Structure 1
Amino acid sequence: MTDVQTIIAADIGGTHARLGYIHAFPNRDARTDSMIELKAYTKYRCADYAAISDVLNEFVKSQNIDRIDQAAIACAGYFVDEKLKATNLPWTFSLDEVRATLNTKNVFGLNDYEALAYSTTCLAETDIQSLNSQGVSVPGKARFILGPGTGLGASVLISRGQALTTLTTEAGNAGFAPVTQVEREIQTLLAKKFDFVSIEHLLSGPGLVNIYQALAEIMDQKALLERPSMISRAALDGSSPLAQASLDVFCEVLGSVTANLVLTYGAQGGAYLAGGILPKFKDYLVNSKFMDRYLANASMRTYLEKVPVNLIEHGNLGVVGAARWCLRSSEANT
């Protein structure tokens, strides 16, 4: 078909780069969801490559790709004058470098959570685990997506008729607001380590380590575990009460932050939790006090109860979302 567009879509976080090769069938009535076919998908460890060009070249060669009409590069950061500004990525690059690598002029850059926000419009039921069974999405209302990983990503999707637009946020860099006495003590200890204690300093992989180390000091215990995966694993298998306490704090803080962002953005379309680490302990999250903290604002409890809160698997969703964003952007300019 002459209408088929071929797209390289990349979803690049602090730890992994996810790449997809997509056949897309642009549709003027904006029903692009069913018009995207993911032909190939691969996940790479960023630390294994010196530059984004190395990853792109390996993907193109491994998939024998000989035609690229467009490319969408979604990254944990933002672009200024087509140059990536990011704090949690191992690379710096410009979109011109990507154009040269892929030999195509049509290269777009966007935030990785902007891409994930787009993907929430075409989720299958199997992609979603509900954390708030009372919630019902209100059509046309804003929805937001939040994800702890190497950092803390956040974006908002806003509908205007059939048109969609995203609001890229730096919610993870907003100040942390403790609720409990333990959280206040954690904040005090983290303030000795950081000039400014942000939400990301708790809600991320490194943030879980920060919580664990602070609780160890508060409880006068030794912090024996060094990595987020070690802490979450010890919490899940019950081998470390300190790790369990740390994961409990993590889940409770996540509940408060989710509620605050729902209220801030009027996100009656739903709240979506993604990121690289939540799926690893999703059952623990479901059984934690996440929802208690999410509904803790008594004056807004009725409002919050009506908003669906969903846990989604990151997987290839960022790649699909980046491709959808790319299609809509190119259509808007034609």
Structure 2
Amino acid sequence: MIDAHGLRKTYRTKGRRGSAPADVEAVRGVDLAVRDGEIFGVLGPNGAGKTTTIRMLATLVVPTGGTATVAGHDLLTAPERVRENIGYVGQAGGVDENNGARAGLMLAARVNGLSPRDAAARTEEMLAAFDLTGLADRPARTLSGGQKRRVALALGLVHRPPLLFLDEPTTGLDPQNRANLWDQIRGLREQGTSVLLSTHYLDEADALCDRLAIIDHGVVVAEGTPAELKREVAADVVTLRTDDGSAAERALAGLPYVREIRPGEPLRVYVDDGEAALPRLLGRLAESGVALTGVALERATLDDVFLHRTGRSLRDAA
């Protein structure tokens, strides 16, 4: 559905107060391959290049370099054919605050080439699918954030595109509305729609995405299924709290069952089998005279993957 190679985008900034104009590389060579009927995530902190990447693939921003085919059409030579086969829901949603969902959907359907009869039928179908029929004629400004997001999704899908772009789809939503929107997105996959979404929420990427790419500073630093990426780091993470992290690190360094040690507070020790390794870790620390104030065993997360690839936590970067 998407095959992109070396996508780049450089912006030219204006000089201010005597400073010279400068080039800013927002995206520095991104490769992406999105398969038919999958949810593919682009995960990264704010400013990583996620939105710029999606806007390039959706023909809203012209790439500085690179090539891509989207829904079977060349991004640079046939952008109009790309647009016919995609839906796009940006962070702002694109919902007209002064119109109701029914009017907005009718307009979107007609703009995308549906006949008046087909547009009316499709509008009613989308209102029912997203539980908006009872709200269809209320001005969007009177709707909640979650309701507006459902309207935005319906607008992006009214012309039945095989590929939908979602840029930070749940930003600003409360937990219940986020969970409801996740269900809607999963439903799209079940209907055969391919979805490319950007997010900086670790739990969202883990729960929704069949595969994902982690982007930082405009480049892809890791790609795969959430499970594959986490296995790359380790199966388990032991977090240790101690007043002497350096001593603990020295005591555990070189043990055969320890993959990696990340210094800090707490100390993070990556191991293949946490349940088997934990008693041995504690025994080694006790032998070395290292006192602990806290210990926890947990599965590796996508944040651990980001930390492993970039040297810093995604939560901190965000």
- Taking structure 1 as the reference length, what is the TM-score of the superposition? 0.26
Larger Rg: 2
Higher normalized strand content (fraction of residues) = 2
User: Which structure carries more relative contact order (alpha carbon 8 Å, separation 6+)?
Assistant: 1
TM-score relative to the length of structure 2: 0.27
